[in-house]
């Protein structure tokens, strides 16, 4: 709550700054607006922005750094005795943080003497009442650390108040004193705005960096515990939260690629023929109806497709195909997920291909007709070859979507990893349940997770692999489109 | 001349009226090829219709609910032993204290209507286990009512509800430990007596989620609020940042390495699998920055990062579509570059930017995978507080609620999940229609 007040205080100062800066500029020009370098409001904005920007910047920085700093200090002061054999320092620290937070919630004051057993067990029940459930009794050392943590946080918060207000007032004073009729206020304000625009554009880079760094960081932890050879070259996926699990990516990758292959086998012919028909044969009326209808498929959230796979397609395939053919009796299967994902991908293939086919110039068609080719011969022998790079690009983009797709496979493909030692028959049976990289990322990272165990960290390695594969496919697709695009000018 | 007629009359190789073998083959190939296209389009549209029909068929039942109306006597010696109507004292009576009242009321209804069914046990099981809590809340809110007899409308249990929706039959009830065929007969008798009815149920949209064995009282309230909060965060973050980034890239950015890097990044981020953004959110916002799990603020931040490129791309197109003559005119009368952009270009590009924004929001609304990783799958029964504090309270989101319900054993939850999908699709349809209207109304051709 105090943070809200600080923000409001800074905003109020900025508002005052706007009014005062504006009137000071007017006063210095003697009320004659033509004597000013810029419009009066720019002088006001200049003061307001000089108050706001450094103050909020400092606040954001402080809020980021303070917890890390206090954590490190308390953690180093924590006696080794408080960290027992069965736990780690970081787990104890999370207890400390929770106790400290709970103490703040129930507003407990520090007792006069050192806390004894009775006080601590009473405290535990009071914390439980406030919604802070603790597994074990509170260790005295943890309690002391929590008290120090609270004190540190409180001091940090007051220091932040002082520092932020000082910066705000300083900015106010400097910019206010600089304000006079010859000050180039518009240029200054516009430079400030330009910096804001650049910062906004840079967020894309920061996001990419954030993705790569966060995954690299945790993946490094994973490979410290688990040899990378086992991860990339092993053939068994069997996580075991008691330790000693075999975590190899190949069985998951097989599932991912197999499902994506089926999805593409569904989506590419349908999408491509739909695009050809829409751009070459369809009357304007059919096109106006069919094209949006197909594009609706792209706007449907993947969870809807997932549910469709789970409650409709899965049981249907099982009852009419898998069981009569003796191929299995699981409703979640490679075929279920692949088929539904294929439906999802139809609009990706069709609308991209449609654009590309439309971009082939009419003169090529006319030339072909003039030589006596039928319409389908023209399409097969002239238009498709001319549009091929674009179509390949569209297929690659669809493949990258298929590989990264999560909800359809979570609900439709099952959770059992492919087992290479069961023989090729089970591996290629499309009615067998099979899991994918994305499913395992979800299952390893949901629920109670312990960020020190390789079973959890493996999700980051899987995520990084997924990121690299999809990125590679996207870059390749864009490169093919650029490299082989015919220039018709 | 004679040579030519002689040549022509000798042996006409082809006729305009009868096609030769090769032409027939080529024409057949042409027809086949065209047919493939028709089949492809038909398949795509049939798939769309099949999907819609399947969801509608499974989900429409979620909006209907079976209710039982009972006359319950609010016995004073059970609910308020001291007789002073003090809510604090009455709150000590737990829901277990209310169950016998419902049981008695049920027995009375059975007797009053002269219903006799052999082997009927536990007629009160027709009513949801949530009924006692419902009654307790009512009594605590109206302590003066104790001692009176008044009608209560209780939600029927999930199996009874399923019976009227065709999910439960006499045969399946015989094998079910939660319901017996006799209880179903009782339900039919009550229906004939007018004490039981199945009707439209708005509460599906407002109730919070319920536990595993009470599908009949689960609803979407918390999920809708959670989704709404996340959309607010996305709107507050992605719109200004996206527009600022597009303005910079279109109007100010010099052609250099840095600009290229930004452009490549934006187009790649648009194609990164959504689950990767979930990993980012987990690692940065929860593990590093220490924000709470399951909170709409984290979900909103993750979805903002994901939506950003999807807003920037149409926004840039909209800014680019504003003709240079507008800019030149503004610059010509002495506006600065910044004034030109903010006073002239941006207002003209606004409809296009808004359309892109709405479509981006619609995509964010349906996104599930990243939210699973940041703990939005938790079971949440408490409505989050109002913003801004509510942004840090646990909540779920509409698509995640669907996922949650698919993971539960009771088949009644499948119906609930499909119903939730219908709600989600209605929201998406409204948003997309809005985008189409905006586009057709304000689109300007220069």
Alpha helices in A277-383 (DSSP H): 284-299, 302-308, 314-317, 323-325, 334-359, 362-370, 375-378
Give mean pLDDT, residues B370-396. Answer: 83
Residue A409 contacts B, CB cutoff 8 Å: no
Among B51, B252, B290, B367, most A C-beta atoms within 10 A, so best to mutate, is B51
| Cβ burial B206-215 (10 Å sphere, 16+ → b, else e) | ebbbbeeebb
Domains in chain A, number: 2
Average pLDDT over chain B reads 85
**B260, closest residue in chain A (CA to CA):** A205
A311-323 residue pLDDT tens: 899 989 888 988 8
- Determine whether the interchain pair A404/B421 forms a contact, defined as Cβ–Cβ distance below 8 Å: no
- Determine whether the interchain pair B273/A470 forms a contact, defined as Cβ–Cβ distance below 8 Å: yes
Question: Is A222 a domain residue?
Answer: no
- Cβ-nearest to A218 among B283, B312, B424: B283
Residue A304 contacts B, CB cutoff 8 Å: yes
What CA–CA distance (Å, rounded) separates A154 from A156?
A: 5
**ipTM (interface predicted TM):** 0.88
Residues A252 and A151 in one domain: no
* Most confident among A81-85, A154-158, A434-438 (mean pLDDT): A434-438
pLDDT band per the 50, 70, 90 thresholds, residue A381: very high
**A451, closest residue in chain B (CA to CA):** B287
Residues A42 and A164 in one domain: yes
Question: Is A188 a domain residue?
Answer: no
A389-414 residue pLDDT tens: 889 999 999 999 999 999 999 999 88
Residue B338 contacts A, CB cutoff 8 Å: yes
Q: Which of A94-103, A257-266, B174-183, B264-273 has the lowest mean pLDDT?
A: A94-103
Please report the pLDDT score of residue A87 as a whole number: 66
Please report the pLDDT score of residue A76 as a whole number: 80
The answer to whether B56 and A401 are in contact (CB under 8 A) is: no
Question: Is A211 a domain residue?
Answer: no
Whether residue B7 has pLDDT greater than 50? no
Domain that holds residue A427: 237-484
Instruction: Find tokens 């999805």 and name the residue.
Output: A263
State what percent of residues in chain B have pLDDT above 90.
35
What CA–CA distance (Å, rounded) separates B411 from B167?
A: 8
Window 53-92 of A, Cβ < 8 Å to B: 64, 67
What CA–CA distance (Å, rounded) separates B107 from A136?
A: 48
- Cβ-nearest to B37 among A198, A277, A446: A277
Going from the C-alpha of A130 to that of each of A104, A108, A150, the distances in angstroms are 10, 12, 17
Give mean pLDDT, residues A372-376. Answer: 92
State what percent of residues in chain A have pLDDT above 70.
90
Give mean pLDDT, residues A438-464. Answer: 84
Residue B249 contacts A, CB cutoff 8 Å: yes
Residue B134 contacts A, CB cutoff 8 Å: no
Window 450-489 of A, Cβ < 8 Å to B: 451, 459-460, 463, 466-467, 470-471, 474-475, 478
- Determine whether the interchain pair B280/A411 forms a contact, defined as Cβ–Cβ distance below 8 Å: no
Whether residue B271 has pLDDT greater than 90? no
Q: At A453, phi and psi to the nearest 5?
A: -90, 145
* Contacts A202 to B, Cβ<8 Å: 262
- Determine whether the interchain pair A215/B34 forms a contact, defined as Cβ–Cβ distance below 8 Å: no
Give mean pLDDT, residues A259-266. Answer: 95
Question: Is A215 a domain residue?
Answer: no
- Cβ-nearest to A446 among B241, B377, B418: B377
The answer to whether A376 and B34 are in contact (CB under 8 A) is: yes
Beta strand pairing status for B64-73 and A246-247?
Answer: unpaired
The answer to whether A179 and A23 are in contact (CB under 8 A) is: no
- Determine whether the interchain pair B428/A301 forms a contact, defined as Cβ–Cβ distance below 8 Å: yes
What CA–CA distance (Å, rounded) separates B276 from A399?
A: 16
- Determine whether the interchain pair B253/A201 forms a contact, defined as Cβ–Cβ distance below 8 Å: yes
Please report the pLDDT score of residue B1 as a whole number: 47
pLDDT band per the 50, 70, 90 thresholds, residue B330: very high
Residues A106 and A254 in one domain: no
Question: Is A219 a domain residue?
Answer: no
What CA–CA distance (Å, rounded) separates B91 from B263?
A: 62
Strand ranges of the sheet holding B149-155, from the earlier edge strand across to the other edge: B149-155, B64-73, B196-200
- Cβ-nearest to B38 among A277, A377, A470: A277
B65 DSSP β-pair partners: B199
- Cβ-nearest to A203 among B30, B245, B403: B245
What CA–CA distance (Å, rounded) separates B425 from A299?
A: 10
- Determine whether the interchain pair B30/A375 forms a contact, defined as Cβ–Cβ distance below 8 Å: yes
Least Cα distance to B74 among B110, B100, B109, B94 occurs for B100
* Contacts B283 to A, Cβ<8 Å: 214-215, 217-218, 460
Interior angle at CA B93, CA B90 and CA B98, nearest 5: 115
B417-442 residue pLDDT tens: 999 999 999 999 999 888 888 888 87
B135-162 residue pLDDT tens: 888 888 887 777 778 888 888 888 888 8
SS3 A279: helix
Residues A259 and A375 in one domain: yes
Chain centroid to CA A386 = 37
* Contacts B290 to A, Cβ<8 Å: 67
Whether residue B83 has pLDDT greater than 90? no
Residue B293 vs residue B224, higher pLDDT = B224
Residues A442 and A338 in one domain: yes
Alpha helices in B282-411 (DSSP H): 296-321, 324-332, 337-340, 346-365, 369-373, 398-406
Residue A217 contacts B, CB cutoff 8 Å: yes
Q: Count residue pairs from A and B with Cβ separation < 8 A.
A: 258
Cβ neighbors of A290 (< 8 A, separation 6 or more) are: A274, A278, A282, B41, B45
* Contacts A403 to B, Cβ<8 Å: 273
Residue B422 contacts A, CB cutoff 8 Å: no
- Determine whether the interchain pair B275/A307 forms a contact, defined as Cβ–Cβ distance below 8 Å: no
**CATH code given to domain B221-442:** 1.10.3720.10
| Domain range summary for chain B, segments of one domain joined by + | 63-201, 221-442
What CA–CA distance (Å, rounded) separates B156 from B70?
A: 11
Whether residue A83 has pLDDT greater than 90? no
Whether residue A3 has pLDDT greater than 70? yes
Q: Which of A231-240, B74-83, B187-196, B257-266 has the lowest mean pLDDT?
A: B74-83
- Determine whether the interchain pair B275/A312 forms a contact, defined as Cβ–Cβ distance below 8 Å: no
Please report the pLDDT score of residue A308 as a whole number: 93
Give mean pLDDT, residues B331-335. Answer: 93
Residues A133 and A242 in one domain: no
Whether residue B4 has pLDDT greater than 60? no
Q: Which pair of structure tokens corresponds to residue A432? A: 């067998």
B66 DSSP β-pair partners: B198
Question: Is A220 a domain residue?
Answer: no
Whether residue A249 has pLDDT greater than 50? yes
Sign, CA dihedral A27-A29-A34-A39, equals negative
Average pLDDT over chain A reads 85
A108-153 residue pLDDT tens: 666 655 666 667 777 777 776 666 666 666 777 777 888 888 888 8
- Determine whether the interchain pair B279/A277 forms a contact, defined as Cβ–Cβ distance below 8 Å: no
Q: Which of A116-130, A158-172, A368-382, B239-253 has the lowest mean pLDDT?
A: A116-130
Question: Is A369 a domain residue?
Answer: yes
What CA–CA distance (Å, rounded) separates A103 from A148?
A: 12
Give mean pLDDT, residues B292-302. Answer: 89
The answer to whether B211 and B408 are in contact (CB under 8 A) is: no
Q: Which pair of structure tokens corresponds to residue A473? A: 């496919």
Residues A422 and A288 in one domain: yes
Least Cα distance to A28 among A181, A172, A177 occurs for A181
Residues A422 and A279 in one domain: yes
What CA–CA distance (Å, rounded) separates B141 from B353?
A: 49
Residue A308 contacts B, CB cutoff 8 Å: yes
- Radius of gyration of the CA atoms of chain B, in A: 32
CATH number at residue A424: 1.10.3720.10
């Amino acid at each position: 709550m105090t943070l809200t007040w600080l923000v409001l205080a800074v905003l109020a100062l900025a508002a005052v700054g706007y009014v005062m800066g504006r009137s000071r500029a007017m006063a210095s020009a003697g009320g004659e607006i033509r004597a000013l370098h810029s419009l009066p409001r720019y002088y006001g904005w200049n003061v307001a922005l000089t108050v706001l920007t450094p103050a909020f910047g400092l606040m954001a920085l402080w809020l980021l750094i303070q917890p890390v700093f206090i954590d490190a200090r308390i953690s180093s002061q924590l006696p080794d005795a408080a960290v027992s054999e069965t736990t780690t320092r970081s787990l104890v620290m999370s207890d400390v943080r929770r106790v400290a937070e709970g103490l703040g919630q129930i507003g407990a004051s520090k007792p006069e003497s050192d806390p004894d057993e009775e006080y601590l067990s009473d405290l535990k029940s009071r914390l439980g009442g406030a919604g802070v459930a603790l597994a074990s009794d509170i260790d005295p050392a943890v309690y002391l650390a929590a008290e120090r943590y609270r004190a540190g946080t409180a001091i940090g918060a007051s220091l932040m108040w002082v520092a932020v207000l000082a910066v705000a007032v300083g900015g106010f004073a400097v910019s206010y004193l600089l304000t006079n009729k010859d000050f180039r206020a518009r240029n200054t304000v516009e430079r400030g705005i330009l910096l804001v625009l650049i910062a906004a554009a840079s967020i894309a880079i920061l996001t990419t960096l954030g993705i790569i760094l966060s995954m690299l960081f945790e993946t490094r932890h994973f490979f410290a515990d688990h040899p990378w050879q086992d991860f990339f070259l092993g053939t068994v996926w069997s996580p075991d939260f008691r330790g000693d699990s075999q975590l190899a990516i190949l069985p998951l990758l097989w599932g991912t690629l197999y499902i994506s292959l089926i999805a593409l086998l569904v989506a590419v012919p349908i999408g491509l023929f739909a695009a050809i028909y829409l751009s070459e044969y369809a009357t304007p009326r059919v096109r106006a109806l069919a094209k949006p209808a197909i594009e609706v498929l792209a706007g449907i959230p993947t969870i809807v497709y997932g549910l469709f796979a789970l409650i409709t397609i899965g049981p249907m395939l099982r009852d009419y195909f898998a069981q009569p053919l003796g191929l299995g009796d699981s409703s979640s299967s490679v075929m279920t997920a692949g088929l539904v994902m294929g439906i999802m991908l139809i609009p990706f293939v069709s609308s991209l291909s449609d654009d590309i086919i439309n971009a082939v110039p009419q003169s090529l068609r006319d030339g072909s007709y003039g030589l006596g080719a039928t319409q389908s011969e023209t399409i097969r022998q002239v238009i498709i070859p001319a549009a091929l790079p674009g179509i390949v690009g569209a297929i690659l983009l669809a493949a990258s979507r298929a590989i990264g797709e999560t909800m359809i496979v979570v609900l439709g493909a099952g959770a059992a990893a492919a087992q290479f030692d069961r023989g090729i028959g089970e591996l290629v049976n499309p009615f067998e349940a099979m899991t994918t990289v994305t499913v395992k990322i979800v299952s390893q990272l949901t629920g109670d997770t312990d960020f020190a165990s390789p079973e959890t960290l493996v999700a980051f390695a899987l995520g990084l692999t997924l990121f690299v594969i999809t990125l590679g496919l996207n870059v390749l697709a864009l490169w093919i489109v650029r490299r082989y695009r015919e220039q018709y000018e | 001349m004679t040579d030519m007629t002689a040549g022509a009359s000798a042996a006409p190789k082809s006729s305009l009226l009868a096609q030769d073998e090769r032409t027939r083959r080529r024409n057949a190939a042409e027809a086949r090829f065209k047919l493939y296209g028709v089949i492809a389009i038909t398949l795509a549209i049939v798939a769309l219709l099949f999907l819609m029909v399947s969801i509608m068929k499974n989900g429409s039942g979620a909006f209907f609910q079976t209710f039982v109306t009972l006359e319950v006597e609010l016995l004073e010696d059970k609910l308020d032993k001291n007789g002073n109507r003090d809510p604090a004292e009455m709150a000590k009576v737990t829901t277990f204290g209310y169950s016998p009242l419902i049981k008695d009321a049920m027995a009375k209804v059975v007797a009053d209507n002269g219903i006799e069914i052999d082997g009927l046990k536990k007629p009160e099981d027709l009513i949801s286990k949530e009924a006692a809590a419902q009654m307790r809340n009512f009594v605590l809110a109206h302590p003066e009512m104790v001692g009176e007899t008044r009608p209560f409308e209780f939600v029927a249990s999930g199996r009874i509800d399923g019976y009227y929706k065709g999910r439960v039959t006499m045969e399946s009830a015989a094998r079910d430990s939660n319901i017996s065929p006799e209880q179903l007969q009782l339900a039919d008798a009550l229906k004939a007596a007018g004490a039981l009815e199945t009707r439209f149920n708005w509460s599906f949209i407002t109730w919070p989620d319920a536990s595993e064995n009470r599908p009949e009282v689960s609803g979407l309230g918390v999920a809708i609020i959670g989704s709404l909060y996340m959309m607010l965060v996305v709107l507050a973050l992605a719109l200004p940042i996206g527009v600022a980034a597009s303005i910079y890239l279109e109007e100010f950015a010099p052609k250099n390495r840095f600009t290229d890097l930004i452009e490549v990044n934006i187009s790649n981020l648009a194609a990164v699998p959504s689950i990767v953004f979930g990993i980012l959110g987990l690692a940065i916002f929860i593990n590093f920055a220490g924000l709470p799990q399951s909170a709409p603020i984290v979900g909103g931040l993750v979805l903002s990062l994901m939506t950003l490129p999807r807003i920037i791309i149409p926004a840039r197109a909209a800014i680019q579509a504003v003709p240079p003559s507008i800019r030149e005119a503004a610059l010509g009368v002495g506006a600065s570059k910044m004034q030109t952009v903010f006073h002239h270009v941006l207002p003209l590009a606004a409809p296009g930017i808004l359309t892109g924004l709405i479509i981006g929001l619609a995509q964010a609304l349906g996104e599930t995978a990243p939210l699973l990783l940041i703990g939005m799958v938790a079971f949440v029964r408490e409505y989050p507080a109002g913003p801004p504090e509510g942004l840090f309270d646990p909540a779920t989101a509409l698509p995640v609620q669907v996922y949650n319900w698919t993971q539960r054993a009771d088949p009644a939850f499948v119906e609930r999940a499909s119903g939730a999908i219908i709600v989600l699709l209605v929201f998406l349809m409204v948003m997309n229609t809005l985008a189409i209207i905006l586009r057709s109304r304000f689109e300007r051709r220069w």
